[in-house]
Structure 1
């Protein structure tokens, strides 16, 4: 079919006109030939993260009586107007709101061109000082000095002075120059690397591991076993640890019964579990029976599609060994598998709401994790009615839920982060939601215990936050090996945890065999979901009258209280008693501690 010449010539003329750089520059406010072209933003830009005051003071004339809602609506518009000449194109997408329908506007993230003058940005920021707080500059005797030239202790002292006495949220003003080729060497990357570090990863599993072949990983049929539990053959040591009866060691359990473990069949069924992480690769066979109830997406440039983004972990080497290559860690898949994985999970009946924090050119910005928690808050509020039910006592109740967050939130404005997280956790308590977090991966020794030092784990020190569960990690001798504190009351195995190894979206598993896509990993990122799974099971059992009305109290009661040092976290136990085991297994001798 011939194309009419008029249409053809018009199309060509329009094409060349729109692709003329001069035309593009002339028609884009604030752009000229010195600006990078649209589409090159990921190579280099600056990012400013502002936090918004909850109680603004000194508002401009005419705005004194405005409500917080009105101020929140006006602020991004006014800020964009002032920033317009400096914004990264396309400018209308350069300002991102961190907000909540129920908690209001929390922060603003502004992306600018890389060459902007900091003094220009500071001048703009000053215009909004009534609503925004920025700890980037302050007045000294010799004039204005940039905070980036101060020591860390000086910065902490400055923040303590400048934030409102009531510890109300202020503003964080932060510049990040992102460049994919140099980001690995930056200080910021090293910080993030320390937070995400998983320890030594053992991808070569023992020969007896089920993952070294394509055979079936478990068998549920076993004569004499109570109907509500199931047996896992060739289980990981973490599963054996959770199901070993009180009074016995993992070593003794393995010597007597091999690598068998027991778990609750379809444990946690009907219980919502929010997992704030990098997403999940649901193609893995471990998730074929899992129920993903919903997906939530956070982050300025997050693609709203199911999947698992990755962390980049630089290669590590122990003394005397060659440095390993960098590895991609699909963190979310590994975490979620420990909850609902078909063979490696604890509570296979739980309903997963995957909260995917979007990865961007400069890694996983920390504001993204804070925003992800806010989105969980809104989602829970929006679905409160769906969680109402009548218990076995004919009383209307809210179905409890579990929120799992295993990645540390690092921020320059610590008091702001503390304020917002504390507010959310208190709100979750009213909504009967338990917040399960990881203690951290720094190693503890017999002589020195590494203390919890990142959010949200450090908030465990507040005894009023009773719905916050900070989970530590132990080895196969039930001894603490990671960060801990007096308020870290419970732990699970965090060394050699068997979980999935995601291969990344669009890629195929090794040799086309998903049975090879498993690995053993270290870290409290993988002990926390084990405890979250047990908590989901106890919630389910309480709902139907088979368990304790307070699942958290029951969780702590089931701990192994006499196997670890005083002051260390107590190992978790899934509560399956040996009298529920198959009759074909010789019951171990009952010890003095084999009761609860």
Structure 2
């Protein structure tokens, strides 16, 4: 019998791959690096979302992957052994699969046809990465987390009075009256100075003395995860920052510590270069601009520097889901429960960008499953920026819309205000906290291909998002994105001093805003009677009626 050598070679290669199908793709913190020699330019990635509640056993998963690989084999992108990637957690199971497909071999309809039959019962949708997903099976009402009871207000936090009593019982005084747990910091910026502005004290008194009080060892022993575009650690703001690790999302990331362009990049327009994560990281742990300078930081880079995940469709979904899963596994592996704060200053998906919301809600259910495990089981705190739209614009993005349905003692949706404490961006009753988000000095990032030129103003690197690469603007940023890491840093500081329920405490002591419908104003929780006696503001004079009564008594 005459043997077709080409067909035999293909069959043997398929069998070799299937024999290794038990390997858990994506289970490592750092996924395999890019593979040279693929047909990547002529390919598409497909995101297969698993059912949020029907967790497969190891045997069921193995059979599912075997059948899926067998049917998909003719379409997989060479090298085929690396064309299938699992988004998987040891505890949460298989959440998604990314398939790299040769683009000119099939259509989206053909891919769906291949996956019909028994396979279809195991997953909710097959989505092409560059498309805005729509349609699909309707999820049960329990998954409609974005719509159910959205108009209800969150429960009221504990009263300020009870927390003040608890705090005073912990104070240890020194001779001059200063709490030994606090310290004065120099080289401050106005936004940090405002964090040291307690209620009941006039701003002109704070501005006149220019003293920024912070907790000693701010953030010591805590880990802040910054889920963003990366970080340019070359900036002098990070010369003493404790970078614990870097996590790179996706099937084939470029494992190089860096900050990726955030948003579309036009090489002919330098202003399109946006290094989002560097500025966000600096507000959490930066030497001059940060709140919790002694915290360790893990950079979770959700962009790859290439096309994967950079398009506004399902590619963004699987990149962000994979980032959250890898972070979940990292926290569990390194036993960081109880001392982690996670900051997310980006949006993964938006209801306004999708023709139908069914698949988006399936994705939201998977995302919430991971975040709930991080928050409730791994005992972490999650801080999310609300959004940069106009104040009355509804919040339609994810994971922002998930926050009201999570444990409110461990999550916070954060808004931003200006120097007059007036709200700047979109808010809802679920946005409980607000930090300064106007004219904020941030660390600047550069492309790794550019030579960095870090200009400084009063020893503080400044960033304006649309500055040409290599030029530091003197105009600071205005955005809600830096308000979230400020809150994340405050929570890390409260954890580091042993404060029980730090986020609940921060919500309770936050200041009342001038507008009744605005979020409460955060500050660092250090009261004037913890300052040295010589720096405490004078007590206000009693009312006239009270003084008259004193004279009568005398």
Structure 2 CA distance, aligned partners of 1:272 and 1:368? 22
Aligned equivalent of 1:505? 448
Pairing partner for 2:294 from 344, 349, 365: 349
Taking structure 1 as reference, are residues 42 and 584 closer, same or farther at Cα in structure 2, changes over 3 Å only?
farther
Q: Any gaps of 5 or more consecutive residues in structure 1?
A: 1-22, 30-36, 57-65, 138-147, 170-222, 316-322, 388-397
What secondary structure sits across from 1:326 in the alignment?
helix
Q: 1:331: which partner in 2?
A: 276
Higher RCO (CA 8 Å, separation ≥ 6 residues): 2
- Matched-pair contact (CA < 8 Å) for 2:414–2:433: yes
User: Deviations 1:71-91 (Å, cap 9, x if unpaired)?
Assistant: 223333432332222222322
Aligned counterpart in structure 2 of residue 361 of structure 1, from 290, 301, 307: 307
CA distance in 2, matches of 1:265, 1:288: 19
**1:437-452, aligned counterparts within 5 Å?**
437-444=384-391, 449-452=392-395
Q: Residue 119 of structure 1 corresponds to which residue in structure 2?
A: 109
TM-score (norm 1): 0.68
8 Å CA contact retained: 1:307, 1:505? yes
Label 1:584 to 1:283 Cα distance change in 2 as closer, same or farther (>3 A): farther
The within-5 A match list for 1:15-414 is 39=37, 41-54=39-52, 68-115=57-104, 116-127=106-117, 128-134=119-125, 155=134, 158-159=135-136, 162-164=138-140, 167=143, 228-233=181-186, 235-248=188-201, 253-254=206-207, 256-257=208-209, 261-312=212-263, 326-359=271-304, 360-364=306-310, 365-366=315-316, 367-384=318-335, 387=336, 399-410=338-349, 413-414=359-360
- Residue 418 of structure 1 deviates from its aligned partner by 2.5
2:40 and 2:110 mapped to 1: Cα distance? 23
CA distance in 2 between counterparts of 1:92 and 1:576 reads 57
Q: What is aligned with 2:520?
A: 570
Q: Could you tell me whether the CA contact under 8 Å between 2:244 and 2:296 is conserved in 1?
A: yes
| Aligned partner of residue 521 in structure 1, secondary structure | coil
In 1: Cα distance, 2:541 partner to 2:63 partner:
67
Q: In 2 relative to 1, CA 27–513 (structure 1 residues): closer, same or farther, beyond 3 Å?
A: farther
Map 1:428-467 to 2 at 5 A: 428-444=375-391, 449-462=392-405, 464-467=407-410
CA distance in structure 2 between the aligned counterparts of 1:122 and 1:574, rounded to whole angstroms = 53
Kindly indicate whether the alpha-carbon contact (under 8 Å) linking 1:265 and 1:348 is maintained by their aligned counterparts in 2: no
Secondary structure at the aligned position of 2:120 is classed as coil
Specify the SS of the correspondent of 2:431.
Answer: coil
| 1:416-437 deviations in Å (ceiling 9; x for gaps) | 2232233233322132211111
- Give the C-alpha shift of residue 362 in structure 1: 4.5
Pick which of 304-313 and 281-290 moved more.
Answer: 304-313
Give the aligned partner of residue 417 of structure 2. Answer: 474
CA positional deviation for 1:242: 1.2
SS in 1 for 2:96: strand
Is the 2:260–2:275 Cα contact (8 Å) retained in structure 1? Answer: yes
Q: Report what 2:22 is aligned to.
A: none
Report the CA distance shift for 1:489/1:54 in structure 2 as closer, same or farther (over 3 A): closer
RMSD: 3.7
CA distance in structure 2 between the partners assigned to 1:467 and 1:98 by the alignment: 25
Deviation at 1:103, TM superposition (A): 0.7
Separation in 1, partners of 2:454, 2:376: 47
CA 163–505 in structure 1, closer or farther in 2 if over 3 Å, else same: same
